[in-house]
Each structure stands twice: as C-alpha cells, then as structure tokens.
Structure 1
Amino acid sequence: MLGLLLLQVLASCLWLGHSEVVNSFESCPQFFYDGIPPDGALNPNNPARICQRFNNSYHYATLYDRVRRIPVYSAYKYQPGDDEKPPRKWMVEPQLIDRKSLPDMKFDWVLTNENIFTLDQIKESQAIPDDYNRLKDLDRGHLCPSGHQFSKERMMATFTLTNAVPQDKTLNNDKWNKYEYKTMPQKTQGCNTTYVITGAVHGNTYVSNNRVNRPSHIWSAACCLGDKEPKDAWGAIAENDRNRVEVVSLEELEKRLSDLYNGKVTLFKNACSQK
C-alpha cells in the first residue's frame, strides 16, 4: 500500500512538472483569488490554458485563443518592484505546438536553430515576433505587464506573445499606461494582496495577413484583499482604437463584458466585494 501511495505521489509530481499547457489551471491556482478562474463565458472555441513558466517557475496564468492567436486574459498577483526592466525580447510557448515539448517559454529562434520545431510549426499554433514587427499604429500590448512584477525574472516571463495582443499604440503608451502605473498604485494602497485579471475582447479585424486578431477592447479587473478578506474591487475598460480608459466598478465591468461576450461574465465568482 505504501509503495502504491509513493507511486501516485511521484506521478502527481511529474504531471505538475510538465503541465504548462493544461486542461485546467490546477497547476497554478495561486494566480486566481480563492483559486477560481473566471467562468465559461470567456472561453473561446479552441482554448489553451497556460501556466506561464519561465526558468522552472510559474509566474502567472493565461487563457489563450488558439484560433485568433491572442490571449483572452492573463491572471496574476500585482507585485511591483524596483528591478530594472529587461530587454524586450519576446518568447513563444513550445507546448502550444506539442504538449510533450519543453515546459518553459522559449525564443522562436532557439526552437528553430536547435531543430526542435520549424518556423511554420510555431506559426501554426501561435503568434510569432514577425507578426508584430511591421505594425505601424499597434504595439505588442502586455496583458500581464512587466512593471507589475517584482523581479527581473518575473518581468522577463511577461515577454511572451501568449501574453500580448495588438494594442493601439497611443492607448498603450498613454492612457492605458497611466492606468497601469499611476492608477493601480493609488488604488492598491492598503491592499496586502491584489489579484488582477486583464483581458482582450476579440475584434472583427486581423493583422499580419489575417493571422492575429485585433481586439475591440482591452479590460482589467482587480480584487484587493486587506489582511485576509476582500476590501475593494474595481475594473477598467478601453476601446482599442481610442485613447480613453474608463475606471469602473467590478459590477459595471462584468455587465459590459457580458454584453460584449454575449454571455454572463463573472470574473471572481462573486468571491470578491463589488464596490
């Protein structure tokens, strides 16, 4: 009996170590308040759930739309620090190509130079850096931003294209940037832990020869905990062709997303206060 138990524990450990693209977020529930991800209204037809892993550690969680080649949302803990931002070198997710492949995110050129995958194989499963290199009025917009992470390693982990969408350049560099780096620090004062879910509503247009969807809206939701219990919650939403961000209640954000996704959206399963 003891031997069987040890085998079960070992099998469990091996599964957790190689489950970065997963059927559920059981390997990284720590990035969701109360361990509960948003409900099914946000799920695309062909989703990939990614426990974003870099240097053998999990850093945040992403629901990815394989068809549109953009993330639906990334969930993380807001933990800004003083480390200098790393160079902007973007990675891809090997396990979107093959679930048995490397568990950590990698540079596309590493995968091709080492003959692990061809460029066409990578392109079939996700966006690649070249999809963004020729865009004029759009940026690679982080959903989990590097500046919301406390260490250089965690910052580097945000530079994967499974965490980026084509975002209006002016919005990304002005009003959305101000929300991320001025509004968030103000609103999180007194919060011991803040859980964040930031997403993108898929749009009707594509870039890079119709490979990558251009979202219609960018949104974000935050759940602020005091000692242990929720003390505040809020949201933000922006149209992805205007330099304007609305900071709203969590309840109002969920109502708007429910309209945009044509189904009821509950981001924190009613576990966080709505003020």
Structure 2
Amino acid sequence: MVRISANGIEINVEVAGEGPAVLLLHGFPHTWRLWTEVIPPLAAHFRVIAPDLRGLGETARPSDGYDAENLAADAEALLDALGEPTAAVVGIDAGTPPAFLLAMRRPERVRRLVVMESLLGRLPGAEDFLAGGPPWWFGFHAVPGLAETVLIGHEADYVDWFLDAGTRGRGVPREIRDHFVAAYTGRDALRGAFAHYRAMPESARQIAVTVASGRLTVPTLAIGAHPVGDILARQLAPVADDLRAHVVEDCGHIIPLDRPEVLVPLLKSFLDLDLGRAPRLAS
C-alpha cells in the first residue's frame, strides 16, 4: 500500500504488477479490497491501481468533493501522480459514475472502460428499475447526519446486510468482511460513506450535462448481475459508440467477490486487446 497526494487529498492505493495501467474503482460498503480476487491475475500483465475512494477506507475524508466529476478528477490526478498517461478504467457501484465521466470528458486518458452494477444518474433506460423509487437506503443515506446517528454501534450489522444481499446470501470471506466493517465503523467513517449519496443529485446533473454535449467514444463493457442486470447497458446504448454487455447469472451485486471466476475472464478478454492479443473466450 502507498499513500499518494492527488487533487488536494491523500489517497490510499494498492499498486501491483507492470504493464498498461488498469484503474479499479470500488463502491459501497467496500474498499480497494473488493478487488482481492481480481488484482493477482490482472497484475500478471498490467499495472493494477486500486485506490480507496475519497472518504472511504484509509483515504482522506474531506468535507466536500464527493460528486462524480470531482471523483473523476481524483482518479485522473492519481494517474498523473503515478506517471500513467492512460489507463483502462473499471468501476462498480459508486465507482461507475466517476469512471464514466472520466471516459466522457477525458477520453484520451481512458483506453477502455468497464462499468458494473450501477445506474448513471437519470439517463433513460432505468425507468422500469426505478418504477417503485430508488433503493430504500439511498434516501436514508441522503439525509444529513441521520444515518450516522442511527447506525453508531450497529455498523457491523449494517455492513453485513449489504454483504449478504450483495452475494445472494453467500457472504464474503471473513477476513475481507472484517476489513470492510472496520473501514465503516465510527461517525466520521460513516459520514465519508454517506457523502457519496448526498452528492448524487449533483452527480446526476453532471452526467446529464455531459451526455447532452458528447458521446462515449471509449470501447466500453457493461457488466450486470443482481439486481441491476442489463439496466446500465440500456442507459449506455444510446450514447456509446462501442458497447459490449454481459449479465453474470446467479450473481449478486458484489461481482468481484461473488463471482470472480466469471468476472476475471471477462476482464482479461476485454483488456487483452490492449496487449495486442486475441481476446480470450470468457465463460
């Protein structure tokens, strides 16, 4: 692990391997260790960069800057600090909007884009998914100060609910579970997490403005599971020039820990094109 100064904050980041850069952006309630099963096989051919997002894990928790545009600026500044002019960018959950905006606004920095299990603001395509409103925790997390107050002392129970739901009851390895719980314990840790949700209206506005003035020209792979499925691909289809989509069967929201044996071949197949090799067949 190293700490890198970028975009005005200290970012905790795991760096492994050598080769073309691959930047991995996690979501909630995770840290860089979401990618535990993904990093070793990718690091055999790529320089893998897996940060804790702003406010999460061991990265700094400033009072602001949690909108997708600024998170994309964090990512770009991190690449600059590590001397990487370009990267393949992989985002899941809260990591998807900044990955998308980085590819839209700075396509010369993003060789390939992989996005998973998230929605992109209010872009068309998610109407059925949102027919009953967004998931309940979006509103709970969005109220300033409420979730922190309610959850103090119960962080483990809360994180466990998301880990169990996100793996369809299978759970994650105990060591990683304990790491996630520790990362989200305490008022300030919770505040950093929920700041991402409180910035969602601004992030949605940024996404809408960006899409209104341009197209996604970067080769893109959209991967879904349960519950998002193909919704993200539907949102991307009208704006993307080069889009592939895959839905992982019998898989929860936390794809990198629930079905790494499926995700890793998918990523390798897509990223191998950077190495001038024929893509592998993904199972």
Query: What's the TM-score once normalised by structure 1's chain length?
Result: 0.30
Query: What's the TM-score once normalised by structure 2's chain length?
Result: 0.29
Considering fraction of residues, name the structure with more strand.
1
Considering fraction of residues, name the structure with more helix.
2
Which protein is bigger by CA-based radius of gyration? 1
